[in-house]
Amino acid sequence: MTSFLTAANTSQESVSHDTRRLRLISGTSNPALSKEIAAYLGINDVPLVSKRFADGELYVQIEQSIRGCDVFLIQPTCAPVNDSLMELMIMVDACKRASARQITAVIPYYGYARADRKTAGRESITAKLSANLLVQSGVDRVLAMDLHSAQIQGYFDIPCDHIYGSPVLVDYLSTKNLGEIVVVSPDVGGVARARAFAKQMKDAPLAIIDKRRAAHNVAQSLTVIGDVAGKTAILIDDMIDTGGTICAGAELLRKEGAKRVIACASHAVFSPPAYQRLFEKNLFEKVVVTNSIPVDQTQNFSQLEVLSVANMLGEAIWRIHEESSVSSMFR
């Protein structure tokens, strides 16, 4: 699964060959990640004006010609989610009207992803609605990372490349002396993700936390299925929002005799009171996340490790631009 690193190093020579028609444009959600991606590709971001009118309406203007270009818009739809999504759609519209050849929305974190099915009567499926809005705005392709559920790929009526942050997490963990490990899914719904992660961790054993959710953002952990006593437990999830699920799981793992607990997630949503739960209770030796969402550096605790996915996203962008395989990055 980490073969993309070798491929990325190999393709670095070709990245500098011809980027005349490749353009990156960053929204306001995560400009630091965009700059890292641009550095990997050896190009500069296209300058963009994004501002608000007095009544809150968004205004976007691209300050460089993109006529006939292959344009990649970097914009995680993180908080404020509605503003981020609307800005992305306005950017797409601006690119269409500026005669871009192809527009790819690079969405490292896809907001509204948890509303991916109906769990009760009269609910919306907002993950599908958001996909419809993006398609209707005129985007040609989507590049997303660690979608909350695999079926969201099918919500887009356009090509959608789905990549994974797990190789970056695995590479980091492989440099640490963790002793005997067990990969833990914080709930039954995350078993497939945890199983794939355990396979990358040299076929580590798997454990599952049986959990029942009392309400949105409220989780009650009941029992651990699997042996965690005396081991380093790696709790893996796609995102950490308020921290309730993963902290409840860590408390249970400690009670069951886990020697160390490490939390890993691709998306550091970190809605209040996530920081207090994650770091003040001292449940975790490390909380390892990626920079798919910007992390508030004023809240950067010693246990927090933020890993960059810029090179991986840059490699995927380059392969899409060159019309070569993206999935082979993960074989």
* Residues recognised as catalytic: 211
Tell me how far apart the alpha carbons of residues 288 and 301 are, in angstroms, rounded to a whole number.
11
- The distance from CA 282 to its chain's CA centroid, rounded to whole angstroms, is 25
Query: CA–CA distance from 29 to each of 40, 82, 194 (Å)?
Result: 19, 11, 28
Class of residue 214 by CB neighbours under 10 A (exposed 0-12, middle 13-18, buried 19+): exposed
The single residue listed with the structure tokens 């609910």 is 123
